[in-house]
Amino acid sequence: GVVDPDCKVKGAQGLRVIDASIFPFVVAGHMQVPIYVFAERASDLIKQDAKSKKHHSY
């Protein structure tokens, strides 16, 4: 795929993708709930990334 486990687009800097196209399988039910869950996880990753950059600014 073009997205790594942290939702970052490979080969691009500062770009993340959070939508149903990154799921490795087709969800059997409504897509809204898994996308919300994944978006919450992605927001945690983005916040962690921002904190680490803040502490390691050169």
Q: How would you write 2-35 as a 3-class SS string?
A: CECCCCEECCCCCCECCCHHHCCCCCCCCCHHHH
Residue 19 confidence (pLDDT): 84
Residue 42 confidence (pLDDT): 92
Of 53, 52, 22, residue with least CA distance to 37: 22
DSSP type of residue 56? T
Residue 57 confidence (pLDDT): 56
pLDDT > 60? residue 55: yes
Would you give the distance in Å from CA 14 to the centre of its chain? 12
pLDDT digits (tens, 9 = 90+) for 22-49: 888 888 888 888 889 989 999 999 999 9
Domain residue spans of the chain:
1-58
Q: What is the pTM of this model?
A: 0.69
Helix (H, G, I), strand (E, B) or coil at 51: helix
